Amino acid sequence: MSGKFEPKTAVALQPPKDEPITLKELAQANVFAGKDASRALAKSSTKPEDVQSEWSDLDDKEKGVLNDWITFFSKRYNVIGKVEGATNLA
């Protein structure tokens, strides 16, 4: 796959950390399960009302944060699909 989500250079990942995740951290991450969390990622929020796909009304700083998340994830994971109807990914 080539294009926007392909890393420019290979990423050498550190080995997984052997640090337990707390129940609080796990509960906060659970809010994203099965949902498009674009808005919440841009706002660095775990509030259920922020877990939605609408991001076009965010300010430039928040859109920059969302782009940083896209870069972060695309360098670590293979993109296997896109949200149906998404217009923010070319």
- pLDDT of 60: 94
Q: Where are the domains of the chain?
A: 23-74
How far, rounded to the nearest angstrom, does the alpha carbon of residue 54 sit from its chain's CA centroid?
A: 14
Q: What is the pTM of this model?
A: 0.61
Tens of pLDDT along the chain (90 residues)? 455 666 677 767 777 667 776 777 777 777 888 888 889 999 999 888 998 888 889 999 999 999 888 888 877 887 777 777 766 554
| Contacts of residue 3, Cβ cutoff 8 Å, sequence gap at least 6 | 90
List the Cα angle 67/8/43 in 5-degree steps: 10
Structure-block tokens of residue 14: 């550190």
Structure-block tokens of residue 41: 């990622």
